[in-house]
C-alpha cells in the first residue's frame, strides 16, 4: 500500500509545488542577507559541486548544464583564490548519445558531484525529465581538473543507477561519502520516497554487486515529498546529512532551504536537533531565505566550505553561487562562521 500511495502522489509532486510556501523566520537560522558579497565574476550556477583548491591551486565549481551552452553538458567555473570566478567551459561538447537514447528528450545534465579517490576525480551527474523519476545517474572520470594539463580528459564510465515510473525513488542528486573504514556510499534522491543510499565499489565507482534495495535515510512523509539534494559530511564521529527542502527553480518565488540531521552511522538513523528522525519528517533548518538571497539549496561541501546556489532578488531572480565557511557549535552542529571575503 505504501508503494502504491507513493506512486500516486509522486506524479503530482511537482504540480503541487505551488502550494509549498516560503518558511517563516526560524530561531537559530543564520541571517543570509549579506551572504556571498565577497565573490566576483561569473556566479551563474545551479547545484554547485565545489572542489576547494589548496595553496597555489585553482578552485573549481561544477554545475547543472544549460541547453544553450555546450549543448547542456555539465558546466565548469574556476577561480585562482575562491573569490574571483570565471566560466571554464563544459565537460563535453554534447550529451553522450547513449543518454539521449536511454532518456529521449533530455537537453541538459544536472546536479553534478565530484569526488577524489586515489588520484582520480569521479564526476557523477544526472539525466532526467523534470517532474518525473525517469532518471539516471552516470559517471565520468579524469586524473586532473586542470584543462591545461596534457592528461586532461573526461572519460565516460556509463550508467550508475536508473529509476523508472515503477520505482518509489528518483535517481537524482548523487553525493558520495566514505565511512570510517573507507567504504564508499552514494546518497541520492528527489521527492518520491525521499533520500536513499547505495554502497559503491572502488575503484570502479559503480554500485556494489548485490547492493540490494537502496537504504532509506530521510522522507518528508507528506505530499509533495519535497526533499532532495543530499550531501553528507563526516566530522567528529558524526555524519551530517544536508538536504534541500521545498521548491527550487522558481526564481524569487523559490522556497528552497537547507535542512540538516546527523547520525553516528553513515547509513543512519539521522536525527535533527530535537531528536526527531529524518525518516519521520524531522529536520532542522540550517539556511533559509533572507533579504535578497532567496531559496538557498543544492549544496555541497569541500574542505569545510559550504557551496550552494540561491536566487538573487536584486538580479531578477537569477541563480548565483555562494560560498560559506562552516564552523561548529559546542554541541557539534554545523554553523556559518562568516562569509568568504
Active site positions, annotated: 47, 228
Phi, psi of 9 (to 5 degrees): -80, -25
- Which letter does DSSP use for residue 130 in this model? T
Q: Which grid coordinates are listed for 331?
A: 554541541
Is residue 8 within 8 Å of residue 15, measured between CB atoms? no
> Chain-centre distance of CA 244, in angstroms?
8
Name residue, grid cell 564510465. Answer: 157
Alpha-carbon distances of 310 from 173, 292, 299, rounded to whole Å: 17, 9, 10
Q: Which residues contact 99 (CB under 8 A, 6 or more apart)?
A: 106, 109, 127, 136, 138
d(CA 126, CA 90): 15
Helix (H, G, I), strand (E, B) or coil at 2: helix
Q: Which grid coordinates are listed for 62?
A: 561544477
Amino acid at each position: 500500500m505504501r508503494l502504491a500511495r507513493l506512486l500516486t502522489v509522486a506524479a503530482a509532486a511537482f504540480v503541487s509545488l505551488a502550494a509549498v510556501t516560503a518558511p517563516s523566520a526560524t530561531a537559530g537560522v543564520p541571517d543570509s542577507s549579506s551572504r556571498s558579497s565577497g565573490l566576483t565574476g561569473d556566479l551563474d550556477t545551479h547545484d554547485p559541486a565545489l572542489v576547494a583548491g589548496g595553496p597555489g591551486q585553482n578552485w573549481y565549481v561544477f554545475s547543472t548544464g544549460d541547453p544553450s551552452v555546450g549543448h547542456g553538458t555539465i558546466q565548469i567555473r574556476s577561480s585562482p583564490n575562491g573569490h574571483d570566478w570565471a566560466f571554464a567551459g563544459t565537460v563535453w561538447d554534447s550529451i553522450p548519445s547513449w543518454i539521449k537514447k536511454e532518456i529521449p528528450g533530455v537537453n541538459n545534465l544536472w546536479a553534478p558531484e565530484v569526488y577524489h579517490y586515489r588520484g582520480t576525480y569521479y564526476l557523477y551527474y544526472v539525466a532526467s525529465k523534470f517532474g518525473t523519476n525517469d532518471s539516471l545517474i552516470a559517471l565520468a572520470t579524469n586524473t586532473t581538473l586542470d584543462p591545461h594539463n596534457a592528461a586532461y580528459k573526461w572519460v565516460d564510465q556509463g550508467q550508475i543507477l536508473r529509476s523508472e515510473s515503477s520505482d518509489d525513488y528518483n535517481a537524482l542528486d548523487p553525493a558520495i561519502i566514505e565511512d570510517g573504514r573507507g567504504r564508499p556510499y552514494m546518497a541520492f534522491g528527489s521527492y518520491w520516497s525521499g533520500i536513499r543510499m547505495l554502497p559503491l565499489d572502488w575503484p570502479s565507482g559503480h554500485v556494489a554487486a548485490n547492493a540490494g534495495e537502496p537504504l532509506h535515510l530521510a522522507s518528508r512523509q507528506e505530499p509533495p515529498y519535497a526533499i532532495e539534494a543530499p550531501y553528507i559530511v563526516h566530522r567528529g564521529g558524526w555524519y551530517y546529512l544536508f538536504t534541500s527542502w521545498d521548491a527550487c527553480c522558481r526564481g524569487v518565488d523559490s522556497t528552497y532551504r537547507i535542512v540538516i540531521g546527523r547520525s553516528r552511522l553513515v547509513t543512519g538513523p539521522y536525527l535533527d536537533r530535537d531528536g526527531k528522525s529524518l525518516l519521520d519528517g524531522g529536520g532542522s533548518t540550517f539556511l533559509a531565505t533572507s533579504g535578497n538571497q532567496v531559496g538557498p539549496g543544492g549544496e555541497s561541501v569541500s574542505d569545510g566550505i559550504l557551496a550552494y546556489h540561491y536566487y538573487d532578488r536584486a538580479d531578477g531572480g537569477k541563480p548565483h553561487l555562494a560560498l560559506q565557511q562552516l564552523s561548529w557549535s559546542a554541541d557539534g552542529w554545523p554553523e556559518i562562521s562568516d562569509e568568504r571575503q
